A and B are shown apart, each in its own frame.
Chain A
């Protein structure tokens, strides 16, 4: 008798086949559901191939405008894509220097954008720091305080910050203040939650020790918890700062200050060379901040931990 005739083997084959078929149908059904949802969503949002195809050439138009000049007004545009042209100096239309002819304004705005991010991160850090101790269950007796602060933090981080900025522009006027407040509120919400988790994981030993010597609740927090969690706090704050720099570049779209406000304006007016200049600057600044904060994290936080 060979193995294949063994009834146990046949039973195994049968069961294995059934299991396999069941899994295959499940995969197929999941896949069908995904595709069906995709089609339904596309129909609902009018995302149809012909509509999309209509717009695609106009994406190229932007790059076309960027790398062509009209010799005289209204004449046929001429392509100027060459290195010597690209670095041809301020007088040369569509050279890099020409794009950046308002570089002084942009640098001032970029500096403002970064300062907005710095102040918003600092304010958010301070608020989150203060709130994180009463919001940590292992550190306070009352569950009500924890519940209320936690829900507040949740609300602060779930309302989109651009929406928040748009609303705050009404009472606080157009300008960076509304943007700073919006980012600071969001930062409080996100950092507050992260800080709570760090507090929860802090060791009880030092806290108990300080309580044993008669230290007040504040002293327990200041001397028992803060030294343990501070490196983590700072590391999270630096990460948040990176994110906030990005946010402050776009928060100006609703009139809340920074380079975003200028970008919205030049896109609205179709000033193509300025659009490219600002977009390049934003990309550069985001990458630079990413790299810098990675270095800082590695140097300082690594040394502290």
Chain B
């Protein structure tokens, strides 16, 4: 294509060759300036100046020569306690969330105000992180796994109730109408019209919540709410970095095992129809 052709093309389609608006570029520059300002505010150079201290810690983490002297029984028991906390918390949450989910669904209870109130309640429970709930419950219940279990249960109730309510709202109405036409009451409609449609979602979400809560529960101990996090924080505070690394490996392996188990169970229980 010669220069003349290009000029001709340019004349024929001016909109293609017109200079772009300058606004996006200015905005992008402003974003980068702001980020640079943030890097300065948070003293980001320290990442590089303090890096040698990080390497010291990493080196200490990789030295497992004292492996035999560690208190393995205590660590494994705490890990098991963490998983138990996650399971109990999730199951309690399911217990609360199933009725709440039905109550919060627009097609079960058609009152507008009620729907708004229940949904905001779920938002409130979800809005505060589990760790904040754990802090609150540690004040009330004292140190230990009970506070952690309640924290998981409360926060997860908000999450599951919302998901369950959405699942109930998304059902096919015809099945419920069919049950109604046989003369079934309210409970019968829920049991045979709604429940079979939402049960797979509920099971799958429950398994997922056990999975994600066992990940979350590992850190609840950092604020005194029981489980492996407590052991971890003790070992960080006394600078036992080799054991810190071991506990992290322990956590990662346990979480991987739970993930695999729950994937297997999900496939088995709901027949692998979705996810």
A residues with a Cβ closer than 8 A to B are 30, 34, 37-38, 40-42, 44-47, 51-52, 54-56, 58-59, 61-62, 115-116, 118-119, 122, 155, 158-160, 162-163, 166-168, 170-173, 176-177, 180-181, 246-247, 249-250, 253-254, 263-264, 267, 270, 279, 282-283, 286-287
Contacts and interface: CB of A to CB of B under 8 A. Distances in A.
Contacts of B140: 55-56, 58-59, 61-62
B30 to A, nearest CB: 13
B272 interface: no
Contact of B39 (A38, A119, A160): A119
B43 interface: yes
A163 B124 contact: no
A279 B131 CA distance: 12
A284 B129 CA distance: 13
A119 B38 contact: yes
Contacts of B41: 115
A41 B87 contact: yes
Interface string B111-135: 0000000000001100111011001
Interface of B: 35, 38-39, 41-44, 46-47, 50-51, 53-54, 56-57, 80-81, 84-85, 87-88, 91, 123-124, 127-129, 131-132, 135-137, 139-142, 144-147, 149-150, 215-216, 218-219, 222-223, 226, 229, 232-233, 236, 239, 244, 248, 251-252, 255, 269
A163 B248 contact: yes
B128 A264 contact: no
Nearest to B232: A163
Contacts of A254: 222, 233
A283 B146 contact: no
A250 B146 contact: no
A4 to B, nearest CB: 23
Nearest to B227: A45
Contacts of B136: 59, 62, 267
B128 A282 contact: yes
20 contacts: A34-B91, A37-B87, A38-B87, A44-B81, A55-B137, A55-B146, A59-B136, A115-B41, A122-B35, A160-B219, A166-B236, A168-B54, A171-B57, A180-B42, A181-B47, A253-B222, A254-B222, A263-B132, A270-B139, A282-B127
B135 A45 contact: no
A41 B218 contact: no
A172 B50 contact: yes
Nearest to B52: A171
A171 B53 contact: yes
A162 B146 contact: no
A37 B137 CA distance: 24
Contact of B132 (A51, A58, A250): A250
Given A122-B35, A166-B233, A173 B88 contact: no
A45 B233 contact: no
A42 B248 contact: no
A181 B85 CA distance: 29
B88 A55 contact: no
Contact of B131 (A41, A58, A59, A253): A253
- What 9 A-B pairs come out closest when comparing CB atoms? A55-B141, A41-B84, A171-B53, A45-B145, A58-B140, A171-B54, A162-B219, A119-B38, A59-B140
Contact of B129 (A158, A177, A246): A246
A65 to B, nearest CB: 11
Contact of B80 (A44, A61, A167, A173): A44
B88 A45 contact: yes
A273 B125 CA distance: 20
B58 to A, nearest CB: 9
Given A34-B91, A166-B233, A45 B128 contact: no
A159 B251 CA distance: 8
Contacts of B84: 40-42, 44-45
Contacts of A247: 129
Interface centre among B54, B85, B91, B139 (most CB of A within 10 A): B139
Contact of B88 (A41, A58, A246, A249): A41
A163 B236 CA distance: 9
Given A44-B81, A171-B54, A38 B135 contact: no
Contact of A160 (B127, B135, B218, B269): B218
A45 B81 CA distance: 6
B238 to A, nearest CB: 12
Nearest to A162: B219
Contacts of B251: 159-160, 163
A61 B50 CA distance: 45
A103 B161 CA distance: 33
Given A155-B252, A282-B127, 8 more contacts: A46-B145, A55-B142, A115-B42, A159-B248, A168-B54, A177-B46, A253-B222, A264-B135
